[in-house]
Amino acid sequence: MKDRVAVIGIGCTKFGDRFERSYEELICDAAFEAYDDAGIDPAQIEAAYLGTYLPGSGGGKAAVSLADALRLYDRPITRVENYCATGTDAFRNGCLAIAAGTYDMVLVLGAEKLKDRGGRGIPRLGHPLLARGNTAPGLFALAANRYIHTFGLRRETLAKVAVKNHRNGALNPKAHLRMEVTEEQVLKAPIIAWPFGLFDCCPTTDGAAAAIICRADLAKRFRKAPVLVKGAGLAVTSGRPYFDPTFDYLGFRSTQAAAQQAYAMAGIAPSDIDFAEVHDCFTWTEISNIEDLGFCPKGEGGRLEEEGQTALDGRLPINPSGGLKSFGHPIGASGVRMITECVVQLRGEAGKRQVKDPELGLAHNVGGPGAVSCVVVLGRG
């Protein structure tokens, strides 16, 4: 796949409480922005991949919600659902189709309308007994507590992650939570699931994002300097790690495996990455993820955050977009949105949140929690 697939167009809606826009309208907003960015006509799209977790009424377990929204009929459309890695995996599948020579141009789109649901947060779909009462904050908090016990991580360090990502998100006009917070505010916020307070958790969000990808040898017909896909990895481990006595809850094996696949395909080392969009559904998760991605040894992620190495002007900017923490987390849209941020950064179009002279960027999602992870490496053409 390396250097055989190019991203020539991107689109992303404003993320947030989008009560004024329907699921279908969000899809159209993201797709037509991507069409315009690529300078193409929708008729040029040969296939599409939709990433969505809960498409809502009429969406079903199919790709019809994308076809109907965009009137994209009589061509193959595949719906991808893979926990929080849904959007990234949809992108990976589109890239595989291009690299295989099956299609010349593909639309990848992730969309979610979570705020119109009657329930609070994301429903747990699992064992009728073991899943009762557990929540995403509760499950990730169990792992965070094990990590704190093992490495002595402090809540003050978690707060620094929130402060950084809110600062980045405040610079991003499309982010859900566009306000800065102080360390004191984070530490004094109501506790959701110890050690996570309100500002340690990403919000429930509506949004959509899209990417137009094509054969790399055709890309310069559309853009002078297209962004190229360097590598992609996907790994699935047990969805029931609590039955595995060897699982230590200090990180996620799926991320470690997916990252190694992506680095091997790209022919790079973790130290070659200039910035990364990682799955910070909670503040601790960012710390664990940067370790699992190989950016530092296990137990040292907190030090990178404390020293400012992950800030916009740091050695390795993490989540320059504001991350899930500030940008929001519409499940199926998040991975594609991360791809759009990587493209914006590599084009040098990120404005006040621009990373200095990036050559390689990384997008990462993990869900389950920890059952599935997808990692994509992109670079300048």
51's enclosing H/E stretch is strand 47-51
Considering the domain boundaries, does residue 173 fall inside one? no
Is the pLDDT assigned to residue 118 strictly greater than 70? no
pTM of the model: 0.96
Give the model's pLDDT for residue 128. 61
Helical H segments across the chain, by residue range: 23-38, 64-70, 86-99, 136-151, 155-170, 183-188, 253-266, 283-292, 301-306, 323-327, 331-347
Per residue in 191-218, pLDDT (tens digit) is 999 999 999 999 999 999 999 999 999 9
Considering the domain boundaries, does residue 159 fall inside one? no
> Looking at residues 361-369, what average pLDDT do you find?
94
Give the model's pLDDT for residue 116. 80
Considering the domain boundaries, does residue 194 fall inside one? no
pLDDT, greater one: 176 or 56: 176
Side-chain-side CA neighbours of 259 within 13 Å: the count stands at: 25
Q: Tokens 């499950």 — which residue?
A: 139
CB 376 within 8 A of CB 278: no
SS3 of 147-203? HHHHHCCCHHHHHHHHHHHHHHHHCCCCCCCCCCCCHHHHHHCCEEECCEEHHHECC
Give the model's pLDDT for residue 381. 79
Cα separation, 189 vs 193, whole angstroms? 12
pLDDT, greater one: 2 or 123: 2
Domain, as residue range, for 329: 5-114+202-380
Cα separation, 43 vs 35, whole angstroms? 10
Considering the domain boundaries, does residue 109 fall inside one? yes
What tokens appear for 195 in the block? 């050690």
Active site residue 342: no
Q: Which one is catalytic: 84, 202, 281, 374?
A: 84
Give the model's pLDDT for residue 131. 60
Considering the domain boundaries, does residue 189 fall inside one? no
Phi-psi sector, 365: left (phi>0), alpha (psi -120 to 50), beta: beta
Q: Which one is catalytic: 329, 342, 364, 374?
A: 329
Considering the domain boundaries, does residue 122 fall inside one? no
CB 335 within 8 A of CB 110: yes
Per residue in 77-91, pLDDT (tens digit) is 999 999 999 999 999
Active site residue 329: yes
Give the model's pLDDT for residue 135. 83
How distant, in Å, are the alpha carbons of 2, 30, 140, 251 from that of 286? 27, 27, 12, 10
Confidence of residue 130 (pLDDT cuts 50, 70, 90): low
Considering the domain boundaries, does residue 140 fall inside one? no
- CA-based Rg of the chain, rounded to a whole angstrom? 19
CATH at 16: 3.40.47.10
Least confident stretch, 55-59, 83-87, 241-245: 55-59
Q: What average pLDDT is seen over the chain?
A: 94
> Looking at residues 339-368, what average pLDDT do you find?
97
Considering the domain boundaries, does residue 301 fall inside one? yes
Per the structure, how many domains does the chain have? 1
